Amino acid sequence: MAEFTLELNDDQKQVRDWLHGFAEDVIRPAAAEWDEREETPWPVIQEAAKVGIYSLDFYAQQFFDPTGLGIPMAMEELFWGDAGIALSIVGTGLAAVGVLANGTEEQIGTWIPQMYGDADDVKVAAFCSSEPDAGSDVASMRTRAVYDEAKDEWVLNGTKTWATNGGIANVHVVVAVVDPGLGSKGHASFIVPPNTRGLSQGQKFKKHGIRASHTAEVVLEDVRVPGSCLLGGKEKLDERLARACEKARQSGMGVPPLERSRERGEVKNAAMATFEASRPAVGAMAVGTARAAYEVALDYAKTRHQFGRPIIDNQGIAFQLADMRTQIDAARLLVWRASWMATTGKPFTSAEGSMSKLYASEVAKTVTAQAVQILGGNGFTREYPVERMHRDAAIYTIFEGTSEIQRLVIARTLSGMPIR
């Protein structure tokens, strides 16, 4: 078990500096263009694949870093470059985490490589959980998966929304209801292979921020996938559903609509298992965006003169920057703690994963807004990047669990009560 340390080792520093260089030299110069175009930045993804950043090997190395800091360090540096382009580069990772969290070794080995492709033929993947009427309320999910025993196939019908890479992905990971009577415990995850009939892209969303990242609806109409595409396998699913049914019967109260944390030993929900694994990484993304905005504001405050002196000479500006840096460092520490705990098998007894995502997300919104304010009128224009960073930061308190849901998870974990 790796001991907790705040000092990156030489290998980690080398990777961090390499990623920072890519973010500075490749991502940042392209950020404004792709934000305006609101299109997937395929040339940047291609370049990331050529140098080895967009690859299964790279993410596996970071994922299996024994300190747990590989992924958050990578996310912070890439999102320091630009949130929209970085999300296009790392968006496939959520689908990969969905397979890692719920799949068998054979499924992991079969499908995750197909999600990335290679430098000559880049692919992307999509994780499809949210629905038009089921975002935070996962128990309201309507997409159904029905087993056709005669053909050993699952038939999927429904509409997913807010799917990063939805419709353009090579591989889709879809969360669907297999037992409506069990609420969120009656869900399972399925692989939808490339070119499967019945899957199509619905509406592509024009967004406030992260506009270089493709976000769309995914429509499933009698989509048939082999039984082997059920993540974890049918035997494991049947056992899990049986335990959930028995628990619901014994309690006489049914199943609560929101999943409690895995650390309590309860039957896990397919979507929640994915989000639990990714929350500290999202926190690291938020830290990267906040840090980028802070650095622009700090440099501007040192060089911008008003009333015969740099504006940083005014306490009103200097104190804001002091608070911004303090909040960023505190957010990073929460992210690193949660990442280290997850990697070393320490339970989130106080919902530390949600804490890291909650605080870092709120810090990103606050810091980017302060950066705009420090730059004044310039900060409100697209001539300076803080305007884009502020728009991008809004997503962190919304996706992969809103701030309100994070607080709910934390409160339930601390109290042991079904707070609503």
The per-residue b/e assignment along 331-350, b for 16 or more CB within 10 angstroms, e otherwise, is: bbebbbbbbbbbbeebebee
Which of 259, 387, 400, 404 is catalytic? The answer is 400
Nearest CA to 271 among 381, 170, 185? 185
Torsion sign (Cα): 6, 11, 15, 18: positive
Contact assessment for residue 354 and residue 48, using Cβ atoms and an 8 Å cutoff: no
221 is catalytic: no
Torsion region of 379: left, alpha or beta (phi above 0 gives left; psi -120 to 50 gives alpha): alpha
Q: Rounded distance, CA 28 to CA 85, Å?
A: 9
> Please, which residues have CB within 8 angstroms of residue 315's CB and are 6 or more apart in sequence?
none
Q: CA 293, 404, 74, 191: dihedral to nearest 10 degrees?
A: -140
Q: CA 73, 79, 84, 88: dihedral to nearest 10 degrees?
A: -30
Contact assessment for residue 198 and residue 223, using Cβ atoms and an 8 Å cutoff: yes
> Please, which residues have CB within 8 angstroms of residue 146's CB and are 6 or more apart in sequence?
154, 155, 178
The three-class DSSP label of residue 231 is: coil
Which pairs count as long-range contacts for 21-30, CB under 8 Å and 24+ apart, including other chains?
22/48, 22/51, 22/53, 22/78, 22/81, 23/77, 23/78, 23/80, 23/81, 23/82, 23/86, 24/81, 26/81, 27/78, 27/81, 27/82, 27/85, 27/86, 28/81, 28/82, 28/385, 30/82, 30/85
Q: Output DSSP code: residue 179.
A: -
List, in sequence order, every residue forming a beta bridge with 197; answer none if it has no partner. Answer: none
Supply the Cα-derived Rg of the chain in whole angstroms: 22
Contact assessment for residue 164 and residue 91, using Cβ atoms and an 8 Å cutoff: yes
Tokens at 391, concatenated: 């728009």
Catalytic residue positions, numbered: 400
